[in-house]
Structure 1
Amino acid sequence: MSAATDVDALRRMMPPPESGGRTVDWDGMAQSWSRPFPLDYQRFMETYGAGVVGDVLVVVAPKPKAPLSEAGWDGMVEETGNAEDVWADSYKTPNWRGRPPA
């Protein structure tokens, strides 16, 4: 998903919950994580909120970044740590070596 039309197409295939999505302070989240969140994730959260899609895909809610020792298992902090570990251990072509995950 990258454009409004992508989310609109998803809405036709998977109607959002009646309770609606989730309001998020995206500027505050971007400041906490030192990077902005993707626009398609923002739109998805605003339309659907966090949850599970088809008992297969878990979409975690954004939460301010905190050390894992303080955050405990809160979804986003732990899953980000998992992704960073996988990135650190993954083979990278020369043009990606030394670059942090985007």
Structure 2
Amino acid sequence: MRDAELTEQITVVHQQSRGTYGAPRVHAVLKHEGAGCGRRRVARLMRQAGQPGTGPRSEAHGWRVGHTDFSILTEARYHADVPQPPPVPAPARGCSRPSAPPISLV
């Protein structure tokens, strides 16, 4: 297959992905369609055609820009309105059954 024909197919696949597919994905699609070509050739032709693969996730990491309202994290909603009962003591380690009452020898 000639480079010009392959570049046309690469352009079609690239446009169908709205410009998000890079060379590995474009190569996988072309391979699935039966076009015999290598990944590096696809990458070279994409560079020559000016079709970089840029994903939509490039800027969406962590907090969104402009999100400065941290009041949901610092509100006093964690305070109890009524007193809480004391915590239940944990059982002794290595003891799988409740302890028996002490035996009186008197």
Which bin holds the TM-score, normalised by the shorter protein?
under 0.3
Write 1 or 2 for the structure with the bigger share of strand: 1
More RCO (CA 8 Å, sep 6+) = 2
TM, length-normalised to structure 2: 0.21
Q: Which has the larger radius of gyration?
A: 2
TM, length-normalised to structure 1: 0.21
